[in-house]
């Protein structure tokens, strides 16, 4: 048990600093409270005023995001965002980062990241139907890094597979920037009827507050503050701040909460997950949204360990717990429902008139503060941004030398960022629930929407190396690439969620990266009509003051209205015409070819135009929806070279043809391009559908052989040889 200091001791010995509260924040809290806070109250301040909960540095920037269009039913501010997809249905999705926990306890950190984001989805009343992830690790495959990768993947698979929600897609990147600070971002998608939407509020004086789910333990105490601080090699990792998950409990909780949503819709006032900052964040936020007060008796909270203090009970982040507000008089039926599932469920408080947040423990009042002091009256900070010197004086444009195109291609395919990730995603169950139409490994996953003719395309994208070169343009490219991936499946992009992974925001250069990338993301969201409906912020991704690349993860969802128009990236048969759509330039800064030949990334980003990209995507989507395309793939890392191998590897088809590109341009990473295949009978209609979009037919699919004549060299090899390198390179690195 913690021996709690007195209010006077907290002030004189600055005990609040150990909880991540600054002197000025403590003084401000005390001034607004009108007295010295006790240890529980300072603890609540610590959790609720952490960056993870209050967004005190990022809020001014998040307000610049574009969040609405005619499809958005519910945007940021609730557990997850909701978008209309027609037929009375809505898609619900959100992403969340679990970087710090995964760095110190990779299995549980990743597993509980998945569990937390699933609860955000069903708290809205939606059935979770798919999970995705976005991971980033160091590129030095030391024993520690391989253990980290293995356990993060195991944690994602262990939780998702057990709970019966397919992990249908995602991405993995490797870069030295993440060697000490891995990124583990999880996204969940749900489907629901529009009429069933729930919100996380506690309204109506006298209505009951019901605690549901796992008992509260001492795991994950004050994890929100832990997630809002950087690491140090000299300090031991705070493993007590990492939660422990139980997917089988979460499965029961999911089913029970969805049944309450449907059977007791009129009696359920609100529901919210106990995520970051545990019971205090869920309860205070629910009261705040309704402008109400709340009283809870902590002796009624189901507890897994004896003698827990109010501080521990309120700031525990034990998993698989929900908080409900239920209309007075209807508690018994709902408690009985949870009892039928074998879940703990107790009435632990009620909604009050006024605006005080009161906690009782052993018959004493241990907290009595205004709700708004925890949720709204939190200071916000802005840092004077400063453009990093690397951007003020960028390196000269990189000019590659490709004297042997085959050797360069083989070396490129062996890069961890290019090589197949099959050895990782094969550990996930991607087909449970039997709705998955397009499996991992392509541009985006596709799941069908039951009882309709619709499907949803889903993906996650991030590109820290490009944001390192230009945060604004890199941010826009990340959104554009996410949209490009969806279009390649035949989907219209709908909206995005995000995880904003950055370093210490009090540093002027980091704040510049955050603000500029938000500017790029917003511009791209408007261009593609994909508002930001949800997301989170993960700052302080630093070890010993060295931060990661600015890495916003974009999770995007698209709509397919005609199941017959779903397109995949694999070459389908010999004899199809192969088109390169979009103009190719000499764009090598930040490319995989640059990394291959120099060991790093540098220079300005070239070869990107939002308007041009949008026109190209619209033309490609039109051709796909006219059933003129047999395979489609976007060009990203590794350019045309990597794309052709990825398309041919699945079924062993190669390509024969001639192109005006140089051998170096084979590896160029000019943005906004696709490779499409077309049956010869559809050639004229396809080219008409593209209109003014630049395109070139570069060859024809052929069994087994790759024979491409460039302007300056010829590539001749067997697809089987390339496939072997592509599919085995990463698996060998991880052994």
- Sheet bearing 714-718, strands edge to edge: 631-634, 674-678, 577-581, 695-703, 653-658, 705-709, 714-718
> What does the DSSP 8-state code read for residue 3?
-
d(CA 121, CA 80): 6
127 marked among binding-site residues:
no
498 marked among binding-site residues:
yes
CB 498 within 8 A of CB 551: no
Phi, psi of 537 (to 5 degrees): -125, 135
CB 223 within 8 A of CB 318: no
100 marked among binding-site residues:
yes
How many CA atoms are closer than 13 Å to the CA of 683, on its beta-carbon side?
A: 11
DSSP 575-632: T-EEEEES------TT-HHHHHHHSS--S---S--HHHHHHHHHHHHHHHHTT--SEE
DSSP 79-112: SSEEEEEETTEEEEEEEEE-HHHHHHSHHHHHHH
Contact residues for 406 (Cβ-Cβ < 8 A; gap 6+) = 715, 716, 717
529 marked among binding-site residues:
no
4: three-class secondary structure by DSSP: coil
> What does the DSSP 8-state code read for residue 113?
H
DSSP 223-268: HHHHTTS-B-TTS---GGGS----HHHHHHHHHHHHHHHHHSTTTE
Tokens representing residue 611 in the block = 């308007």
CB 64 within 8 A of CB 168: no
Beta bridge partners of 715: 708
Contact residues for 201 (Cβ-Cβ < 8 A; gap 6+) = 269, 270, 286, 289, 290, 325
Tokens representing residue 438 in the block = 């397009």
The residue ranges of DSSP E strands in 345-404, in sequence order, are 345-352, 356-361, 364-370
The owner of tokens 């809870």 is 296
Tokens representing residue 153 in the block = 């993947």
- β-pairing verdict for 293-297 and 551-560: unpaired
569 marked among binding-site residues:
no
319 marked among binding-site residues:
yes
120 marked among binding-site residues:
yes
- Give helix 106-122 / helix 143-163 axis angle, nearest 10°: 30
Which positions are annotated as active-site residues? 52, 98
97 marked among binding-site residues:
yes
218 marked among binding-site residues:
no
The owner of tokens 């869920």 is 282
94 marked among binding-site residues:
yes
d(CA 383, CA 505): 7
96 marked among binding-site residues:
yes
281 marked among binding-site residues:
no
Contact residues for 570 (Cβ-Cβ < 8 A; gap 6+) = 442, 631, 647, 650, 651
* Residues annotated in a binding site: 55, 94, 96-100, 119-120, 243, 273, 317-319, 498, 535-536, 538
Query: Could you tell me which residues are annotated as the binding site for ATP?
Result: 55, 94, 498, 535
- Which segments are annotated as binding site for substrate? 97-100, 119, 243, 317-319, 538
Binding residues for Mg(2+): 96, 120, 273, 536
């Amino acid at each position: 048990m913690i021996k709690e200091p007195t209010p006077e001791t907290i002030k004189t010995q600055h005990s609040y600093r150990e909880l991540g509260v600054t002197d000025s924040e403590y003084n401000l809290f005390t001034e607004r409270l009108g007295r010295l806070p006790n240890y529980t109250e300072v603890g609540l301040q610590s959790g609720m005023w952490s960056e993870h909960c209050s967004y005190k540095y990022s809020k001014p920037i998040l307000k610049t995001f574009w969040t609405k269009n005619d499809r958005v039913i519910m945007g940021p501010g609730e557990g997850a965002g909701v978008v209309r997809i027609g037929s009375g249905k809505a898609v619900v999705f959100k992403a969340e980062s679990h970087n710090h926990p995964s760095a110190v306890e990779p299995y549980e950190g990743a597993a509980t990241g998945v569990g937390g984001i699933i609860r955000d989805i069903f708290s809205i009343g939606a059935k979770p139907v798919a999970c995705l992830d976005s991971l980033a690790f160091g590129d030095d495959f030391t024993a520690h890094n391989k253990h980290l990768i293995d356990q993060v993947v195991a944690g994602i698979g262990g939780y998702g597979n057990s709970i019966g929600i397919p992990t249908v897609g995602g991405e993995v990147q490797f870069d030295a920037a993440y060697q000490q600070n891995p990124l583990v971002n999880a996204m969940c998608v749900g489907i629901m009827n529009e009429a069933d939407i729930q919100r996380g509020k506690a309204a109506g004086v006298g209505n009951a507050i019901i605690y549901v789910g796992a008992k509260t333990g001492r795991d994950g105490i004050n994890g929100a503050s832990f997630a809002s601080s950087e690491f140090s090699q000299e300090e031991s990792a705070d493993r007590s701040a990492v939660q422990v998950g139980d997917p089988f409990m979460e499965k029961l909780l999911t089913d029970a909460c969805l049944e309450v949503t449907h059977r007791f819709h009129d009696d359920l006032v609100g529901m919210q997950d106990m995520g970051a900052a545990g019971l205090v964040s869920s309860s205070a936020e629910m009261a705040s949204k309704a402008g109400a007060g709340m009283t809870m008796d902590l002796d009624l909270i189901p507890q897994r360990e004896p003698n827990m203090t109010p501080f521990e009970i309120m700031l525990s982040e034990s998993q698989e717990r929900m908080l409900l507000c239920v209309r007075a008089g209807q508690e018994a039926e709902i408690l009985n429902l949870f009892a039928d599932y074998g879940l703990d469920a107790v009435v632990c408080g009620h909604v009050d008139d006024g605006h005080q947040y009161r906690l009782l423990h052993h018959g004493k009042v241990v907290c009595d503060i205004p709700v708004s002091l925890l949720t709204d009256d939190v200071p916000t900070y802005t840092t004077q941004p400063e453009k990093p010197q690397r951007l003020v004086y960028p390196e000269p444009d990189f000019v590659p030398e490709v004297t042997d195109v085959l050797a360069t291609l083989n070396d490129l395919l062996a890069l961890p960022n290019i090589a197949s990730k099959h050895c990782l995603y094969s550990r996930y169950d991607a087909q449970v629930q039997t709705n998955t139409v397009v499996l991992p490994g392509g541009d985006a996953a596709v799941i069908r929407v039951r009882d309709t003719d619709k499907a949803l395309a889903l993906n996650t994208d991030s590109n820290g190396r490009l944001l390192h070169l230009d945060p604004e343009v890199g941010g826009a490219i990340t959104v554009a690439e996410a949209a490009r991936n969806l279009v390649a499946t035949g989907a219209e992009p709908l909206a995005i969620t995000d995880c904003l992974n950055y370093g210490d925001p009090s540093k002027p250069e980091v704040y510049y990266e955050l603000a500029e990338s938000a500017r790029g993301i917003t511009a791209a969201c408007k261009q593609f009509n994909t508002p930001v409906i949800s997301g989170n912020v993960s700052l302080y991704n630093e070890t010993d003051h060295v931060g990661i690349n600015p890495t916003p993860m974009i999770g995007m969802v698209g709509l397919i209205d005609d199941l017959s128009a779903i397109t995949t990236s694999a070459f389908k048969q010999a004899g199809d015409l192969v088109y390169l759509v979009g103009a190719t330039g000499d764009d090598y800064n930040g490319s995989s070819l640059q990394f291959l030949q120099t060991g790093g990334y540098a220079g300005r980003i070239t070869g990107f135009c939002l308007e041009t990209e949008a026109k190209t995507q619209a033309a490609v989507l039109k051709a796909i929806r006219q059933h003129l395309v047999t395979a489609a793939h976007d060009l990203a890392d590794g350019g045309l070279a990597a794309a052709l191998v990825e398309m041919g590897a699945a079924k062993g088809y190669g390509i024969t043809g001639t192109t005006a590109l140089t051998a170096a341009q084979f590896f160029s990473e000019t943005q906004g391009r696709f490779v499409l295949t077309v049956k010869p009978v559809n050639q004229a209609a396809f080219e008409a559908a593209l209109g003014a979009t630049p395109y070139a037919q570069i060859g024809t699919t052929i069994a087994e052989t790759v024979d491409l004549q460039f302007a300056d060299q010829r590539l001749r090899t067997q697809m089987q040889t390339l496939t072997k390198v592509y599919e085995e390179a990463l698996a060998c690195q991880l052994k």
